[in-house]
């Protein structure tokens, strides 16, 4: 039919995916490449490190206490006469020295790398997941309101559960029954009053109370009011100490930035024609949010995620430094810093070795994130 | 309309290339046109043909890098302005050659009042006292048809409508009585009734002040309405040149013919629209020979390899298609023999 | 043979074709909220009582300048926006008050093509994926979907091997074709074209217009063709409705409208359009002023601010649509001799 007027031309233009173009732009930023290289090194160190330092008889033992060898500077030779068999360091020297319990700092650093990596990624992973969910809902459903009746029923049910939890079974069960009954009544009344006009009090119940956007954004505001480090500190102090708790807590207290980014992107994406086209095709809301709109909103999230990893690592180090981090004898870089603070003049390597490591890793993530942001920017401008 | 020997503006064999990462876009590839005193010249073409870039080159506004003026001359009042230094160019910009852009929304600075912006346009080139300045601004606004100009001076761009903003742009362009106004699609973003107002305004101003207009557009209707001379551009080259009568009644380039035939209108109702197959070539990967040949129904072998020169039909009508030229010559000689 | 094909061939056409869409007194207002409590201080009456109907297989042109509400009408018909009032009768059913759930089965019957070829396709999905989205949930296997997608691409003139490319690799005209393919994918009866060629070059415009016409013949499609370009609308449509500030000012067969424009606004529009014919060079009749804001319009005729023939009556009373001839309606006192 229209074959003469058709067909994809430009066979000469090299077929480049967006990823390839992104890479080309990224490559030109020397510092960003440096960040990437350091990241790769860090990642491999951490993975290798955890393998080499775990198990019954690890290659590098971070927990082996040799009081006779305590506080040796880096590159010090072990005093082989005082050591039992198998207690000597694998490499022949104490590469990073020993701490106040004679533990090999190098092994501890290897073990700690893994903690930093995991905490960084998992915490950020959680925060990103929560963030895009909240941001997507807030941005897309913006003006959808929760009605008065829904609020009342939610409050009743919630109160019922709380009472149950507090042990007041009778009151709790009564409230829950009331809640369920109200739901049934509501549905019935909706059917009855389809054709006729409902009475005034029923209309009041159906009125808008508050919009989803408002709920979520005010929640964000509330969370932002808390100084995050102290919030984390408090929660961690109340919970049993474990690496997983720390990761979850950091993740659940840092989703707010992502939410705002995603919501902002969604507000502008919502007006784009392709979203209207998807709605016109009859595609469901959640598919539109997560399959159609989210890939377009992800760019700023990626950038803030990489920088968020740096922040998470710093937070974990801080927590460990204060003694609220991963419990001993498991080593983390913050732990080593903490142990070293008492010997800062006698054994300064206990401070500046983990300190430098943290610095380098955080720097690398920052550079990488900035590089990503710069590489993505001209693309965003491209039509 | 003056048919001076020396045109006010003469673009000669201009070539402007843009250097990309792996390729070079030949946006303007050997373009020549003249604008005489008091003349309205229209540069017509579709997107990507290079008309805007050639206009930017006149005022030295082509970003360098990635753009580069590879060769050619631009003579304004006899001087080659491509050779001028930035300082000297600034003396010409706004003062002798002024430009009106397409988007009135973004062409005006949103944080300054209209009055401020017009005053600035004047103050850069002339030294006036503040009362004189203000009076000139009011007079300019009145000339472009803005009601209650004294009040409008204090308004910000967002308080004005699209048509009013474009009038302000024209007022700024007129501020120093330039010899030439370059208008780059000034009415494309406006409603058709407002477009009619602006076109009438430009015509009035031109008649009063006797200045030249270089009008860039893709709308052939506008061209028919205001142009004295028309240059049809395609893929960085001039395809055809002539006055409006010649171009519309006797187009002699397949592209011009195709464009005119594909215009929808009441007259074509019920008939299938003629359309030019294919699409505009990528400026980085142009076909060899005549850039139009892949889409041309009249193309022959040589069109694929040889870039033709302009063929002269007399009375200022030129066309870059030797195929049609030869055909017409054969027709003429056949007629002569037949008589 | 489809209706439009018959019409073209000059065969007699059944006069009572099914009316696929009938719009009666359609209203869409947007509230303007001020103050701390977000109280409603004014209403933007974007669509304020619009009437028209489209017969199956025909094209209705909706023409007007910026701010007249034509794009809003498109969104309301598709129920992407809820109307404040009026009736929206699609294939005999009044869908104005249909809930999203009730609309779901009807969505596939009416589709839309947008103006901006750059924002109408999801930049993160290949064009193949964009087209296949509509085919989900229709109970097709993977292969059937792929086949249908390829068939649609070829139908609109794009090689099917290009299905795994992204929108930014195509030109504006090609993207517009993809938009058409997407709209066709669900077998609609009505397609709303919202300025489908305004952002395209002239030579590409003709290609797309031809494509739309061919598809109409092939599939007996009905079109609501929205545009500000009178030339394109005049070519494309069977009937034309002229819209100004949320109301229909004139409504007639296309030929009749151009021959005998009765509303002052229609005449102004027609005379303001520059014709590409130098022999008809004229001082374009310019209508003074600009389109006012649809914010709390004054009572009476919407056109009172710019009408060259305005009277005091026009400022007070609401004017109904008068029927002048068979099928020619005008909303004006003067020109209909009332």
Q: Enumerate residues 6+ apart whose C-beta is below 8 A from C330.
A: C249, C250, C251, C262, C263, C321, C322, C324, C336
Structure tokens at B259: 């464009």
Identify residues of A whose CB sits under 8 angstroms from chain B CBs: 4-5, 9-10, 12-14, 24
**Residue A16: predicted pLDDT:** 62
Mark yes or no for CB contact C122/A280 under 8 Å: no
Are the C-beta atoms of residues A275 and A291 closer than 8 Å to each other? no
Termini Cα distance of chain A: 30
Please give the mean pLDDT across all residues of chain A. Answer: 82
How far off is chain A from C324, nearest CA to CA, in Å? 37
Report the predicted TM-score, pTM, of the whole model to 2 decimal places. Answer: 0.84
Q: Is the pLDDT of residue B28 over 90?
A: yes
Structure tokens at A11: 């066979």
Continuous segment of H or E residues that includes residue A285: helix A285-287
Mark yes or no for CB contact A24/B21 under 8 Å: yes
Mark yes or no for CB contact B22/A10 under 8 Å: no
Nearest by CB to A5, which of B22, B278, B285?
Answer: B278
Q: Which of C235, C249, C288 to mutate to test the interface with B (most CBs of B within 10 A)?
A: C235
**Residue B2: predicted pLDDT:** 43
Nearest by CB to C133, which of A17, A283, A383?
Answer: A283
Q: Is B78 on the interface with A (CB under 8 A)?
A: no
Termini Cα distance of chain C: 43
DSSP letter string, C131-180: HHGGGTTS---HHHHHHHHHHHHHHTT--GGGGGS-GGGS-HHHHHHHHH
**Residue A36: predicted pLDDT:** 87
Q: Enumerate residues 6+ apart whose C-beta is below 8 A from A347.
A: A71, A73, A97, A99, A100, A340
Q: C 253-312 residues with CB below 8 A of B?
A: 254-255, 258, 268-269, 271-288, 290-291
Q: Which of C254, C272, C287 to mutate to test the interface with B (most CBs of B within 10 A)?
A: C272
How far off is chain B from C170, nearest CA to CA, in Å? 11
Touching partners of A (3+ C-beta pairs < 8 Å): B, C
Q: Which of C97, C113, C120, C122 to mutate to test the interface with A (most CBs of A within 10 A)?
A: C122
DSSP letter string, A59-98: SS-SS---GGGTTPPTTBPP-GGGSPTT-S-TTSSBTT-B
**Residue A10: predicted pLDDT:** 45
Which residues of chain B make contact with C287, given a CB cutoff of 8 A? 193, 196-197
Mark yes or no for CB contact C202/B221 under 8 Å: no
- Inter-chain CB pairs, A–B, below 8 Å: 14
How far off is chain B from C185, nearest CA to CA, in Å? 24
Are the C-beta atoms of residues B303 and B317 closer than 8 Å to each other? no
Mark yes or no for CB contact B282/A14 under 8 Å: no
DSSP letter string, A116-175: HHHHHHHHHHHHHHHHHHHHHHHHHHTT-EEEHHHHHHHHHHHHHHHHHHHT-HHHHHHH
Identify residues of A whose CB sits under 8 angstroms from chain C CBs: 1-3, 5-8, 13, 15, 17-18, 272-274, 276-283, 292, 295-296, 382-383
Cis peptide before C102 (omega within 30 of 0): no
Which residues of chain B make contact with A4, given a CB cutoff of 8 A? 277
Q: What is the pLDDT along chain C (338 residues), one digit of tens a residue?
A: 555 555 555 544 545 578 999 999 999 998 887 776 666 778 888 999 999 999 999 999 999 988 888 989 999 999 999 998 899 999 988 998 888 888 888 999 999 999 988 889 998 899 999 999 988 878 888 999 999 999 999 999 998 888 988 888 888 889 999 999 999 999 999 999 999 998 888 888 999 999 999 999 999 999 999 998 888 999 999 999 999 999 999 999 998 999 889 999 999 888 888 888 777 666 677 777 777 878 878 888 888 888 888 888 888 888 888 888 878 999 888 877 76
d(CA C53, CA C64): 17
The 3-class secondary structure across chain B, one letter per residue, is CCCCCCCCEEEEEEEEEEECCCCEEEEEEEEEEEECCCCEEEEECCCCCCHHHHHHHHCCCCCCCCEEEEEEEEEECCEEHHHCCHHHHHHHECCCEEEECCCHHHHCCCCCCHHHHHHHHHHCCCCCCHHHHHHHHHHHHHHCCCCCHHHHCCCCHHHCCHHHHHHHHHHHHHCCCCCEEEEECCCCCCCHHHHHHHHHHHHHHHHHHCCEEEEEECCHHHHHHHCCEEEEEECCEEEEEEEHHHHHHCCCCHHHHHHHHCCCCHHHCCCCCCCCCCCCCCCCCCCCCCCCHHHCCCCCHHHHCCCCCCEECCCCCEECCHHHHHHHHHHHHHHHHHC
Band of residue B64 on the pLDDT scale cut at 50, 70, 90: confident
Which residues of chain C make contact with A381, given a CB cutoff of 8 A? none
Mark yes or no for CB contact C285/B199 under 8 Å: no
d(CA B160, CA B157): 6
Mark yes or no for CB contact B47/C269 under 8 Å: no
Which residues of chain A make contact with C210, given a CB cutoff of 8 A? 2, 5
Which residue from C48, C75, C69 is spatially nearest to C331, judged by alpha carbons? C48
Give the DSSP letter of residue C297. Answer: P
Q: Is the pLDDT of residue B215 over 90?
A: yes
How far off is chain B from C159, nearest CA to CA, in Å? 13
Are the C-beta atoms of residues C155 and C217 closer than 8 Å to each other? no
**Residue A15: predicted pLDDT:** 60
**Residue A91: predicted pLDDT:** 76
Which residues of chain A make contact with B285, given a CB cutoff of 8 A? 10, 12-13
Q: B 19-58 residues with CB below 8 A of A?
A: 21-22
**Residue C36: predicted pLDDT:** 66
Pairing assessment for the beta strands B97-100 and B180-184 based on DSSP bridges: parallel
d(CA A277, CA A95): 63
Are the C-beta atoms of residues B190 and B198 closer than 8 Å to each other? yes
SS3 C115: coil
- State pLDDT tens for residues C160-192: 888 988 888 888 889 999 999 999 999 999 999
By C-alpha distance, the chain B residue nearest C171 is B279
**Residue A14: predicted pLDDT:** 52
Between CA C276 and CA C282, with CA C279 as vertex, the angle to 5 degrees is: 80
Mark yes or no for CB contact A283/C134 under 8 Å: yes
Which residues of chain B make contact with C266, given a CB cutoff of 8 A? none
- State pLDDT tens for residues B69-85: 999 999 998 889 888 88
**Residue A381: predicted pLDDT:** 43
- State pLDDT tens for residues C303-320: 888 888 888 888 888 888
Could you give the percent of chain B with pLDDT greater than 70? Answer: 98
Which residues of chain C make contact with A382, given a CB cutoff of 8 A? 168
Which stretches in chain A have pLDDT values below 50? 1-13, 380-383
Q: C 209-238 residues with CB below 8 A of B?
A: 209-210, 213, 228-232, 234-236
Mark yes or no for CB contact B278/A9 under 8 Å: yes
How far off is chain C from A16, nearest CA to CA, in Å? 9
Mark yes or no for CB contact A8/C174 under 8 Å: yes
Q: Is the pLDDT of residue B264 over 80?
A: yes
């Amino acid at each position: 039919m229209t074959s003469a007027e058709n067909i994809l031309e430009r066979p000469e233009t090299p077929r480049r995916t967006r990823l390839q173009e992104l890479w080309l732009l990224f490559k030109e930023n020397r510092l960003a490449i440096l960040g990437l290289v350091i990241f790769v090194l860090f990642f491999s160190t951490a993975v290798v490190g955890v393998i080499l330092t775990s198990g019954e008889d690890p290659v590098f033992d971070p927990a082996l206490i040799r009081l006779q060898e305590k506080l040796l500077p880096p590159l010090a030779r072990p005093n082989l006469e005082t050591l039992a068999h198998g207690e000597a360091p694998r490499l022949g020297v104490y590469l990073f020295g020993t701490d106040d319990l004679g533990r090999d700092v190098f092994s501890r650093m290897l073990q700690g790398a893994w903690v930093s990596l995991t905490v960084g990624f998992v915490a950020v992973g959680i925060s990103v997941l929560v963030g895009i969910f909240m941001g997507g809902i807030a941005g897309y459903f913006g003006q959808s309101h929760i009605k008065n009746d829904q609020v009342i029923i939610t409050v009743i049910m919630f109160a019922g559960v709380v009472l149950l939890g507090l042990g007041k079974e009778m009151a709790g069960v009564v409230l829950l029954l009331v809640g369920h009954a109200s739901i049934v009544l509501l549905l019935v009344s909706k059917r009855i009053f389809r054709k006729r006009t409902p009475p005034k009090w029923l209309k009041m119940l159906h009125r808008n109370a508050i919009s989803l956007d408002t709920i979520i954004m005010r929640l964000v505001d509330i969370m932002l009011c808390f100084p995050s480090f102290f919030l984390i500190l408090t929660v961690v102090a109340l919970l049993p100490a474990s690496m997983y708790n720390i990761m979850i807590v950091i993740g659940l207290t840092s989703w707010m930035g992502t939410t705002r980014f995603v919501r902002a992107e969604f507000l502008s994406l919502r007006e784009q024609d392709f979203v209207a086209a998807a709605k016109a095709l009859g595609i469901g809301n959640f598919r539109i949010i997560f399959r159609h709109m989210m890939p377009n909103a992800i760019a700023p999230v990626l950038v803030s995620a990489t920088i968020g990893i740096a922040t998470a690592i710093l937070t974990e180090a801080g927590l460990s430094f204060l003694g609220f981090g991963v419990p001993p004898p498991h080593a983390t870089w913050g732990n080593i810093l903490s142990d070293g603070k008492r010997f800062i003049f006698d054994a300064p390597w206990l401070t500046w070795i983990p300190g430098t490591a943290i610095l380098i890793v955080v720097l690398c993530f920052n550079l990488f994130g900035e590089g990503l942001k710069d590489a993505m920017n001209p693309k965003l401008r491209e039509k | 309309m003056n048919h001076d020997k020396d045109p006010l503006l003469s673009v000669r064999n201009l070539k402007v290339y843009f250097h990309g990462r792996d390729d070079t876009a030949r946006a303007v590839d050997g373009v020549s046109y003249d604008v005489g005193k008091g003349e309205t010249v229209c540069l017509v073409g579709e997107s990507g043909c290079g008309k805007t870039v050639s206009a930017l080159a006149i005022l030295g506004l082509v970003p360098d890098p990635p753009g580069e003026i590879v060769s050619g001359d631009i003579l304004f009042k006899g001087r080659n302005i491509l050779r001028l230094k930035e300082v000297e160019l600034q003396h010409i910009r706004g003062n002798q050659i002024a430009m009106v852009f397409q988007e009135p929304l973004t062409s005006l600075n949103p944080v300054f009042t209209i009055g401020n912006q017009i005053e600035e346009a004047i103050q850069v080139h002339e030294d006036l006292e503040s009362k004189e300045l203000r009076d000139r601004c009011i007079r300019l606004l009145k000339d472009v048809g803005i009601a209650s100009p004294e009040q409008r001076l204090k308004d910000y761009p967002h308080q004005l409508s699209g048509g009013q903003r474009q009038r302000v742009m024209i007022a700024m362009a007129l501020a120093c009585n330039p010899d030439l106004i370059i208008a780059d699609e000034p009415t494309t973003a406006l409603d058709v009734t407002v477009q009619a107002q602006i076109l009438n305004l430009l015509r009035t101003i031109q008649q009063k002040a006797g200045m030249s207009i270089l009008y860039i557009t893709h709308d052939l209707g506008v061209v028919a309405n205001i142009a004295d001379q028309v240059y049809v551009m395609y893929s960085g080259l001039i395809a055809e040149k002539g006055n409006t009568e010649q171009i519309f009644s006797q187009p002699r380039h397949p592209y011009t013919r195709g464009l005119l035939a594909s215009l929808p209108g009441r007259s074509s109702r019920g008939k299938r629209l003629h359309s030019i197959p294919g699409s505009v070539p990528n400026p980085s990967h142009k076909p060899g020979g005549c850039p139009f040949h892949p889409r041309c129904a009249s193309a022959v072998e040589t069109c694929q390899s040889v870039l033709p020169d302009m063929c002269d039909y007399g009375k200022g009508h030129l066309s870059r298609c030797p195929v049609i030229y030869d055909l017409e010559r054969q027709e003429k000689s056949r007629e002569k023999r037949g008589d | 043979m489809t209706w439009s094909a018959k019409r073209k061939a000059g065969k007699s056409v059944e006069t009572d074709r099914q009316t696929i869409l009938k719009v009666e007194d359609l209203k869409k207002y947007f509230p303007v909220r001020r103050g701390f409590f977000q109280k409603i201080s004014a209403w933007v009456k974007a669509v304020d009582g619009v009437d028209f109907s489209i017969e199956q297989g025909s094209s209705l042109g909706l023409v007007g300048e910026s701010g007249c509400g034509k794009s809003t009408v498109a969104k309301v018909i598709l129920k992407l926006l809820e109307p404040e009032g009026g009736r929206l009768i699609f294939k005999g059913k009044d869908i104005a008050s249909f809930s999203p759930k009730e609309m779901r089965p009807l969505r596939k019957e009416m589709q839309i093509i947008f103006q901006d070829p750059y924002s109408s396709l999801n930049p993160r999905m290949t064009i193949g994926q964009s087209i296949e989205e509509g085919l989900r949930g229709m109970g097709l296997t993977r292969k059937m979907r792929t086949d249908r997608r390829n068939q649609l691409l070829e139908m609109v003139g794009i090689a099917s091997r290009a299905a795994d490319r992204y929108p930014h690799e195509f030109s504006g005209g090609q993207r517009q074709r993809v938009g058409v393919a997407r709209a066709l994918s669900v077998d609609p009866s009505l397609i709303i074209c919202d300025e489908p060629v305004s952002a395209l070059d002239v030579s590409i415009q003709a290609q797309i217009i031809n494509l739309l016409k061919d598809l109409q013949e092939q599939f007996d499609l009905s079109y609501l063709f929205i545009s500000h370009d009178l030339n394109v609308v005049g070519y494309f449509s069977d009937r034309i409705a002229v819209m100004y500030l949320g109301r229909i000012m004139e409504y007639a067969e296309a030929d009749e409208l151009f021959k005998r424009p009765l509303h002052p606004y229609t005449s102004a529009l027609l005379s303001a359009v520059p014709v590409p014919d130098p022999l008809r060079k004229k001082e374009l009749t310019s209508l003074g002023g600009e389109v006012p804001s649809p914010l709390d319009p004054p009572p009476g005729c919407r056109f009172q601010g710019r009408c060259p023939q305005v009277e005091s009556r026009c400022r007070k009373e609401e004017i109904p649509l008068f029927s002048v001839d068979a099928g020619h309606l005008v909303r004006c006192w003067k020109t209909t001799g009332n």
